[in-house]
Structure 1
Amino acid sequence: MAEYYFPFDSGAGTTVTADAWSHMASMWQADGVRTPRAGEPNPLGATVTGQDMTVTLAPGHASLRGFHYYSDARRSVVIAPNTGTQPRIDRITVRLNRAGQRIAIAYLQGTPAAKPQPPALSQGQDGIVDVPLHRITVAPQAGAITTTDITDERIWAPTPATYADAAARKAAPERPVPGQLAYLQAEDRMDLYTQQSWSPLTPGPWQRLELARWRQPHGAYPSWRLVNGTVELTGAVAMMEISGPDFPVSDYVALVVLPPEARPSHTRSFVCSTSRNTVKGSTCRVDIAARTANNAGDVIADIQSPVKWVYLDGIRFTLDT
């Protein structure tokens, strides 16, 4: 098992100091635990047997202000007994001591209280910096630490990556963590991983929508794109000339069909512009069928007087709500 720091020899007869090397490394490596990957699925994760006061940390890497920590085997941290009558919250961290040029696992013991607070993290005081790993709640007179006593506080240090497409990202050995960024070449967008899923941060290219039968584009082709969890539509839909110049008066006029990945969780309704109509104005209601409906993804217009085309511009909705 290793806890170490490496100075750097340039090979040119001069040695770069520890502070200089760590400063360089800090410019390309964020503070935190290295993201999970094959062979290391839960880096520095905590487990307990529930039979004693020992917390076991899995092998893993962490970076802190340009210094690197690596443990190649499981490491045990023994939690101090709580002999008082009030609960206590302790912390396990990766601690950097600049003065001692050492980075290692640290155990910080809290103070019992009716409403206990975890010990503060050092952020540079006296050359000491902490990255949190786990909080441990220690009940009065506790004889063992259980899984429910542990709160995961790990801060991840994900490295941005580029993938050919979403499928290649899914097949990658690295497991995504909150805050991770990825660029997808085929989709031409940057995604952010938040909690349990990827969300587009930047809009990808517009993608053409499937037109309903006897429909044709009017001007810009009806298209969609996903922007940070929000679907946006654009373009306009008209009748094919062989079907007549105007849409008929009807409460169900199919315009386009959204692909499965762009369908809302429930039916959404919008007011959209149409070609000018001096009889009853120049707008109509447009509904988008939910992904669970029999007509899932259908974009339907409620037309109260004949119009030549319907605009989809301005339709925006989130996928999750």
Structure 2
Amino acid sequence: SVRHSNMKALLTRLDTVTRRTNNNQHDAPQPMPSTPSTIHSSGSNTIPSRQTSVQSHTLTANTAATSWAPTVSPPLLPQQPQRQYWSHQLQSSPSSQITLEQRIALEESFKRKHADLTTRAAILLAEIQALKHLGSISQEEALRQDEEIIAFLRGIRYGKLSSSPLGQAPTTDELSGTPQKAQTPIRALARCVTESLKLYNRDAAYDLVIQDFKSLLPDGTYTDLPLEISTRASLLTSALPISPDPEKFVTESIMHFEHEILATQNPEYYANSQTFKAKAKVALIPRERFLSTSDNYAWDLQELVNEIVVKWKGKEWKNPVTDEFFSAQDIKRIREHPLGRGI
């Protein structure tokens, strides 16, 4: 079949040369051919047949050499190579079928190579971690530019190459090799929170979220909510069902997390460090009486509600410390709280 294809391509090329040469000779003065019987004439058009294409090509070349005004043939167009399709041969070939023994051997080879790859990735991560602990400014700036490489290595190491390793892969200290607590999947956390809310155990639901946020909290002292917690809270809001109000619940969870975790680490987290009447520490306010407003003040709601009722008769909603009006959102939150529903 290959030989037949080569011959077919050769005949096609000879036909093309013959047609172009004859067209050029038709425009220029030429002597009469010595053997006209080799060309089949029909009127004024001369069309060589496939059977005599080789002879016509030879005759035309001789005629052009003895012409009165020699003509230059145009360059030949490049011919497309003949494609050969081997798919039917592969399908019918017995050597293309993989046996069970070959498949098992391939699987074992892939397992060994995968183990070697993850080991190399772990070694590189350990070396990068060691470089970070050297404390060189130039090295830190260089490593900061290689965050994509670090993320790629973590993906190989933990088998999460197609997704971000943050909060999903089991984190391990590359220096000591000690495993750390893995972050709970957001949907699993949402299911546990929903079950607690269905049982009217709101404090247990708060505890679940606070512990989850605490496990994600980086080391340090904060004056504002860390970005990791804000991102996690947004994911939790999306994962919770529509009823009860997920946004309200997550906002309250963040408020209690700030009060019980962040404010405990940093006494200056809020604008006030003590309650305005009893002068008790903000960190000691019980959860059921705690509320923080948008002006960054922390309140014992029992004191605040009594002040609003006694001093302003419930007609003016002002901050007793700054004498500034509360925002509409703050007023709504105070009135929705069990201690403020009677105002």
TM-score range with shorter-chain normalisation? under 0.3
More helix by share: 2
Larger-gyration structure (1/2): 2
Q: With structure 1 as the length reference, what TM-score do the two structures score?
A: 0.24
More strand by share: 1
**Greater length-normalized contact order (CA 8 Å, ≥ 6 residues apart):** 1
